[in-house]
Structure 1
């Protein structure tokens, strides 16, 4: 799925192929399905339903979140509006651009949330205080 990624966040749907042997989902980087070169991959699993993960914004890293197993919800806040996206299909991804506050929660017991990142981990580009995030957004 090629798409315009001018938005701060966007739901993506990847190609899925299936037959009697099972299903295969394809997500290619470098501007095809994933709008960036992937420099870091990590995943979250074993989180209880009432645990919140994330709770931060990034100054320049972009992400795509995919629940490859189970489900979770993501609260997205761009400083102007808040929205909740349910990730409950392995062919569905959520693109998050820079300066988007994110909170992942409501993990199903079998949830595995795969995170693809445009940058290596750099602690200094994380904003972990919501009030600081709002100050930076409003300049």
Structure 2
């Protein structure tokens, strides 16, 4: 399948409401189209900073704004699309072959990533010009 920003949907995650607070649970291959092999989170991102700035050959991710808000700029080499995340029960699925930049972090924002693969530096495309060449194939 060709990588496209149009293959990166926002997924509504289940939310169980209780007067004492809400809970959202994410299950491998149920809410997600993959099994989680790694998770990590970004926090205390200074105002004006950009994170991301790469693409992956194989890795899929679900990106969730656990707290606060931020924008994800998706780029497939032809089309760019910006997705604003600001609710902990919505996640953005990012498929392989998509460049992503994470920008406009609000104060106190926490970004959670559920990833389909363990960390592998060889899976990263970190140079934008190399990414554009890859996207043409």
Normalised TM-score (structure 1): 0.91
Deviation at 1:26?
2.0
Alignment-derived partner of residue 97 in structure 2? 99
Tell me the alpha carbon deviations over residues 63-94 of structure 1, each in whole angstroms, 9 at most, x when there is no partner.
Answer: 00001111111000011210100010000000
Tell me the alpha carbon deviations over residues 47-72 of structure 1, each in whole angstroms, 9 at most, x when there is no partner.
Answer: 02310000000000000000111111
Which ranges of 4 or more aligned residues in structure 1 deviate by more than 3 Å? none
Q: Distance in 1 between matches of 2:39 and 2:79?
A: 28
Alignment-derived partner of residue 32 in structure 1? 30
Q: Distance in 1 between matches of 2:57 and 2:7?
A: 12
Kindly tell me the number of residue pairs found equivalent between the two proteins. Answer: 132
Deviation at 1:125?
1.3
Deviation at 1:17?
1.1
Which sections of structure 2, spanning at least 5 residues, go unmatched? 1-5
Q: Distance in 2 between matches of 1:119 and 1:15?
A: 23
Alignment-derived partner of residue 19 in structure 2? 20
Deviation at 1:12?
0.5
Q: Distance in 2 between matches of 1:104 and 1:117?
A: 16
Q: Distance in 2 between matches of 1:18 and 1:40?
A: 27
Deviation at 1:46?
0.5
Normalised TM-score (structure 2): 0.93
Which sections of structure 1, spanning at least 5 residues, go unmatched? 1-6
Deviation at 1:33?
0.5
Alignment-derived partner of residue 118 in structure 2? 120
1 or 2, which has the higher strand percentage? Answer: 1
Matched, 1:83 2:43: no
Deviation at 1:38?
0.3
